[in-house]
Amino acid sequence: MTGWSRFVSEILLAALALVIGLSLGGWLAYAAGESPWRVIEIIVTGAFGSGYDRGMVIYFAGILIATGLAVALPFQVGVFNIGGEGQTLMGALAAGVIGAYAPESWPHWAAVSAAFVGAVLTAGLWGSIAGGIRAFRGGHEVIGSIMLNFIAAGITGWLVVGKLQAPDSQNPEMKVIGEVFKLHRFGAYNGAPATTAALVALIMAFLFWLVLEKTPAGLRIKTVRQSPDAAVVAGYDPAKVRFWAFTSGAAMCGLAGAVMVLGESWRFRLEISDGFGFLGIPVALLGRGRPLGVVVSAILFAVLHHGASSLDIESTKVGRDLAQVIEAVVVLSVISLPPMVRGLRKWL
């Protein structure tokens, strides 16, 4: 059926983009004097070689699923959330504050839930500013959310060198979170921050799929994407739908921020997000905005991201920047292939 052929063509498109990205990356490595096969070998060993590496991939994948969903969800109603970085920062800040200042007497599950809920709400609230401006006032969401990135960086930076700076630290960072707030790391990964959070991210992706396919909210989203006019006649308010899609997307970034604090660094520090909020954009693009696509492409990006860090050590000719080139080419291919194919068809 049509649904199937659409599904298959989306997968083909993503695969083709990946092939183009890898070929160009390989060619660059070759031009720099390194064998492409060796680069691939280094990346794969770097990502799966040891328990620790596998744990890091799991950790990165969880974060990227969350920040990917944060872009994919608003995508479903045709708005572009480019503010993932700021939303992640605000979420991480909330988790860090709750973790550092809430009483340690709380049971583990309650403490962790409180930190997660706080992070998700804060990130959602932060995103709702740009979402609200877009949905109810017509201001462009790209401008709004990118400006809010700078503001979030400013606010968090100001706090961690001021009022919230850890008294015993010279660095721009907050107090270490309480023991009960730390997420349990799986033993099999030699101390890598692989936690249940990755599972939570997977569940979120599944929930996203459920909402899209099964709930009235999903029907509203679908209608607004395809025809805002039809939505109005059907009694759905496009502004509200856009607002909530954007806000719940932003809330996903809170999840990512909380995982960074509770799972990895155990405290909020400056530049904790390190571009993962932005990396959500290529993840969502390669995943074609679909939940399953986001999961697969998040894993792929996690492998590239972590595996490529070994390039710095293992190769003298290319470094981890090569991974960024591959990522960038993959995304450009995903965006430009459909119109190119269409143009080619027309021309034939």
Contact residues for another protein, defined by CB under 8 A? 1-2, 207, 210-211, 214-219, 222-223, 226-227, 229-230, 232-237
Q: Hey, which residues does 173 pair with through a beta bridge?
A: 269
| 216/339 with CB nearer another protein | 216
| 51/218 with CB nearer another protein | 218
- Two tokens, residue 159: 């706090």
Separation CA 178–CA 105 (nearest Å): 10
- Two tokens, residue 230: 């039809």
Instruction: Name the minimum Å distance from CB 255 to another protein.
Output: 15
Instruction: Name the minimum Å distance from CB 123 to another protein.
Output: 18
Task: For helices 51-75 and 291-308, give the axis angle rounded to 10 degrees.
Answer: 140
Separation CA 280–CA 278 (nearest Å): 5
For residue 179, give the DSSP letter.
G
Q: CB neighbours of 77 closer than 8 A, spacing ≥ 6?
A: 221, 224, 225, 238, 241, 242, 245, 246
Separation CA 127–CA 250 (nearest Å): 5
Handedness of CA 216, 217, 222, 223 (dihedral sign): positive
Instruction: Name the minimum Å distance from CB 57 to another protein.
Output: 30
| 237/314 with CB nearer another protein | 237
Instruction: Name the minimum Å distance from CB 217 to another protein.
Output: 6
Torsion angles phi and psi, residue 173, rounded to 5: -150, 160
Separation CA 66–CA 298 (nearest Å): 9
- Two tokens, residue 198: 């990755």
| 108/214 with CB nearer another protein | 214
| 19/234 with CB nearer another protein | 234
Instruction: Name the minimum Å distance from CB 229 to another protein.
Output: 5
Instruction: Name the minimum Å distance from CB 70 to another protein.
Output: 17
| 107/235 with CB nearer another protein | 235
- Angle 323-329-334 from CA coordinates, rounded to 5°: 125
Instruction: Name the minimum Å distance from CB 345 to another protein.
Output: 9
| 226/316 with CB nearer another protein | 226
Using left for φ > 0, alpha for ψ between -120 and 50, and beta otherwise, residue 299 falls in alpha
| 221/318 with CB nearer another protein | 221
Instruction: Name the minimum Å distance from CB 208 to another protein.
Output: 10
160, 90 Cβ separation under 8 angstroms:
no
